[in-house]
Amino acid sequence: MKTGVCSTDFERSPLLSPAALFEKIKSLGFDAVQFSFTSVTGVDYEPSGLIEIPEEIPLKTVLDVYRASEKIALPVGVINATFNMTHPDRLVREEGLRRFAKLAEIASAIGCPILSLCTGTRNTAHLWRPSPDNGAPEAWETMLSTVRRAAQIAEKAGVCLAVETEASNVVSTPEKARRLLDEIGSANLGMILDPANLFLPGEARPENARSSLDRAFECFGSEILLAHGKDIRAGDGIDFCGTGLGMVDFPYLAGKLRASGFRGAMYLHGIYDEADMPRALSFWKKAEGTR
């Protein structure tokens, strides 16, 4: 399978044009990218904690991304489209959907087939922080309504949506992911398999490494659109780390992906250190059995 990397793992720089970023990614040995428009010059936007989609994306930047992808032969397989889909304030959700609709059109225009989402949280400060209200029926209904509208927008644009389980979000377990897929019932909604995100606080133990993957594949194995290579350290909390530095059983994950008929790409994530990326890529290739 193709092995890519998330562009958000690279330090943003005022000089980091799309061409420079894509050349860097290619030179490190990756052959695909999960891309965020906040990673490159030309977009003056810092994620607010509520919406990670820029308010406006200049046409020049879009064209620069498309041309860099074509010239360097590095496909944009996924574009980040995350915003807090469960925020209690309807205006935040509506603004997120407005920006999402524009991003869906851009993804379609440059040939990117997938937009990544998070299901959000009742936490009003940040979309990656938990809330005691995330398990309330009202939170589920708010999230469901927002995802349904996003799926309709994506279907019209001809792209797919991919969500993932997140301990801090409303969809926090494989079982809740299965429920979401069933209740939305859209052929263009699928899953991101991120092995590090399968653990709730207190569950990150080596003895749970394989059973957590078994649960995920049992719940949504046939509907995985892409995989993430994020890792997690054993402990009582949620302590993410770069690929191969934690307790995720990556050879077992590779085998499960093959057995499920997975045809997507693996995107390494959570490294945040360019100097460590060759090691992480080599580790995954060995786990996958291609090196």
CATH number of the domain where residue 134 is located: 3.20.20.150
Count of structural domains within the chain: 1
- Contact status, residue 123 vs residue 129, Cβ threshold 8 Å: yes
β-bridge mates for residue 191, sequence order: 163, 224
CA dihedral 103, 106, 112, 113 (to 10 degrees): 60
Full pLDDT tens readout for the chain, 291 residues: 999 999 999 998 777 899 999 999 999 999 999 999 999 988 888 888 999 999 999 999 999 999 999 999 999 999 999 999 999 999 999 999 999 999 999 999 999 999 999 999 999 999 999 999 999 999 999 999 999 999 999 999 999 999 999 999 999 999 999 999 999 999 999 999 999 999 999 999 999 999 999 999 999 999 999 999 999 999 999 999 999 999 999 999 999 999 999 999 999 999 999 999 999 999 999 999 965
Conformational region of residue 261, where left means phi above 0, alpha means psi within -120 to 50, and beta covers everything else: left
User: What count of Cα atoms within 13 Å lies in the side-chain half-sphere of residue 266?
Assistant: 25
Structure-block tokens of residue 279: 């090691």
Domain containing 214 equals 3-288
Beta strands in 89-242 (DSSP E): 114-116, 160-163, 189-193, 224-228, 231-232, 240-241
